[in-house]
Every structure is written in C-alpha cells, then in structure tokens.
Amino acid sequence: MNHILLLGAGFSRNWGGWLAKDAFDYLLGCAEVQSDSELQNLLWRAQETGGFEYALADIQAAYIRDPSAHERRLHALQIAVERMFQDMNEAYFELINFEFQQDLARTVRTFLLRFDAIFTLNQDLLLDHHYLNANVSLGSGGRLNGPQLPGMRPLPANEVFIPDTWARHIWIPESTFRVEPRYQPCFKLHGSSNWRAANGSPLLIIGGNKAATIHSHPILRWYAQQFEDYLSRPNTRLMIIGYGFMDSHITDPILKAVESGLKLFIIDHKGADLAKSLNPTRLSGRIIVRTPLETAFERGLIGSSSRDLSSIFKDDTVEFNKVMRFFQG
C-alpha cells in the first residue's frame, strides 16, 4: 500500500499560518497598498471573488497587456506578498515546540514519517524548519536516510550559527531531477518562499494561470508529473489536509486517479461535506447539479475528520485512532 500526503494552507493554519482571508488583512495594511488607492480597491474586489491571489492575477494580466502602465503596481504587490511570507516564516522560526504533546507515538513528526511522499502547496517554511532535518532519519528506525527536496539544492546559509535548518538557505534547481532511494521526498508543488529560479527571481507560484507558470519552470513541471505519477500507482491512498480544491491543476489529477482506484482521507473543518459545500448549485432555491468532486468523494473517500490537528494529536484519542486507520489495509 502506498500512502501519500497533500497539504494546503489549512495545515499550516494549525501553527498560526495564514489563510487567504488572513493574507487579505495583512496586505491591506502594507505601505505599498496604503499608498495606492487602485490597489486597495482591487484587493477589496478580489476579497469577494477568491482572495488576494485573484487581485495579483488581475495585475499580472494587466501587466502582460501593458507592462509600462502596470509594472509599478505589480512590483508593489509582489513586494508586499514577499514581506508577508517573511513575517510568517519568522514566526515559525520563533516557534519553540512544533509538537502538541511529547508522546512519541502521537507526535506530528511520527505521523509524517508514515508517508511515502509528501506534496505541499504551501510556500511557507514551517516544514522546512521543523520537520525536514536529521529527525527524519532518526525517527524512521533506519527505514529512511533522511528527507529530500527532489531536484533542489541549497546555497550556503547566510547564518552559519544555525546550520541544521533548511529554512535558512536559499534553494535553486539542480541540473537533473530524481528521487533518491531511501529518502522521503517533499514536493513543494507551487515552489517556496526561499527558492530562486536560475535567473535569481523568486520560484513560487501565486496569482493567475498557475498551470502555465508551473509549466515554464522545469523543476515544477517535473513536480507536477511526479504528483500525477504517485496518484496513479496501484493501491494508493492519499490523505489531504487543509486543501480547498480550488486549483484545477491539482484537483483534476486527483479526480482522474479516483476513477482508477485512488482512495482519499480528508482532514478539513467541513469533513466529508467539503465537496458539497463547494457546489454553488446547492445554495437555497437552485436546481442541484452534482459536481465531479462530489462524485469522487462518494467513490473514493475512506474517511474524514473535521477536527484541528492540535486536537487530534494532543488528547483526542478517538479521533487520532480514526485518522490512523488510514494506514491500515
């Protein structure tokens, strides 16, 4: 049985990470936004249609049409977004204890070690700082040599007094990509706030037309193919924590794999009702039209939890045991 994990913003939320609505609150207070009334208006409009990424998508599209007219505004919002990640990451660096309690069998690290591969949409450095280190080797009982960010390599850290954290490095793509045997791969499907492309630009995917932007970066294009390959393997189970199924380039491969036998376990505040909650035709007074996601849930879902990780991994034994059933069979 193959067990893989997909993480969204709802995962980092358990340690104080921001969701889209929190990002809106942050960006609205940035000097770059405060000094530009049009940028403020754009953020407010985007709040009603999907969040700050929609605002960024609008500016990106406008920049493509007329670079000279929109370069300054695009740069301003990008700077504010980069600062947002910096502030969030600094909070993770100050986090003293990643765990919710100290019973080794109930730690988040022990839970993460169970997976054959981790895929994440998060560009923050929570896992890089608190999980992707020598503890992967030690905690695996010899099964693993360590973690891996496949196809990426670190540049020397600027802060040599903390050499053990991957989060303090800048990472750039290697010339060849591969998953090393006996290493647990962590694929950051949308890049990371400490990754850089060959030209030195940030290697993170935010805003509109994500699929096309991913395709333009060989490492992320390879990551996307790895995601599809892992999903399509026989006898595979996928646990999804905190992903809202809003990105078609992530959701569509999952739906396709469910048709071929992929099984799902969802951890989300809406639990098994997540798919129905995303169907606009289920609003009052409308004719209900079932969505492919609802069909996939009914066909592939083998369990769900609507509890916070802080509850599951602290003292909610009943829920913890239910989640651990994912690894049985």
The count of other CB atoms within 10 Å of the CB of residue 38 is 10
As a whole number of angstroms, the distance between CA 60 and CA 112 comes to 36
Q: How many whole angstroms separate alpha carbon 72 and alpha carbon 91?
A: 29
How far CA 220 is from CA of 45, 84, 160, 232, 237, in Å, comes to 30, 23, 29, 19, 23
pLDDT in tens, 151-191: 999 987 665 555 578 998 999 999 999 999 999 999 999 99
Distance set, CA 318 to CA 190, 269, 272, 298 (Å): 34, 17, 18, 24
* Mean pLDDT computed over 127-156: 89
The token duo for 11 is: 């995962």
The yes-or-no verdict on residue 288 having pLDDT over 90 is no
Residue whose tokens read 């208006």:
41
Q: C-alpha 154: how far from its chain's center?
A: 20
pLDDT at 161: 53
Gap between the Cα atoms of 277 and 261, Å rounded: 24
**pLDDT range class, residue 108, cuts 50, 70, 90:** very high
Q: What are phi and psi of 203, to 5 degrees?
A: -110, 75
Look at the block and give the residue holding tokens 């400490």: 194
pLDDT of 163 reads 55
Structural domains present in the chain: 2-16+101-327 (3.40.50), 20-94 (no CATH)
- Which ranges constitute the DSSP H helices of 162-312? 210-215, 218-232, 248-259, 274-277, 292-300, 309-312
Burial 123-138, CB ≥16 within 10 A → b, else e: bbbbbbbbbbbebbbe
